[in-house]
Amino acid sequence: MLNDIIGENIKLYRTKRKLTRREAASLAGFTSAYWGYLERGQKKPSLEVVEKIAVVLDIKPYLLFVELLDDFPEELVQSLNTIKQMGHHHVQFIKTVIYAYEKVQGRRAD
């Protein structure tokens, strides 16, 4: 299961970077075949391999372990990335607004 999640994420982030499997593998110092095994979830990567892949894909290593929702709206992902880059006070303000909205809607039991 985890190998499948990692493999799907490797392929997702590789295609977002517009790298071929061969290019990505070469940058990581792997063979194209090994990279393919990783993308298909057929090999279990060590933490060292995960770190090398993350460098090539220009992402934080933990993102390879996170199961992504296929129906997650792209606009929301972009907004979350924008928020992530804001300062702490802005993020706290946005969280406060969201929590207040949830409370008004009866979805939060604070």
Look at residue 81 in the predicted model and tell me its pLDDT: 72
Q: Which amino acid is at 9?
A: N
Q: Per residue in 25-40, pLDDT tens?
A: 999 999 999 999 999 9
Residues 41 and 91 in one domain: no
95 domain-assigned: yes
Residues 10 and 56 in one domain: yes
Distance CA 41, CA 8 (A): 8
CATH code, domain carrying 42:
1.10.260.40
Is the pTM above the cut of 0.85?
no
Residue type for 5, please?
I
Q: Are residues 58 and 18 in the same domain?
A: yes
Residue 47 forms part of a structural domain: yes
84 and 49 both lie in a single domain = no
Residue 83: domain span: 74-104
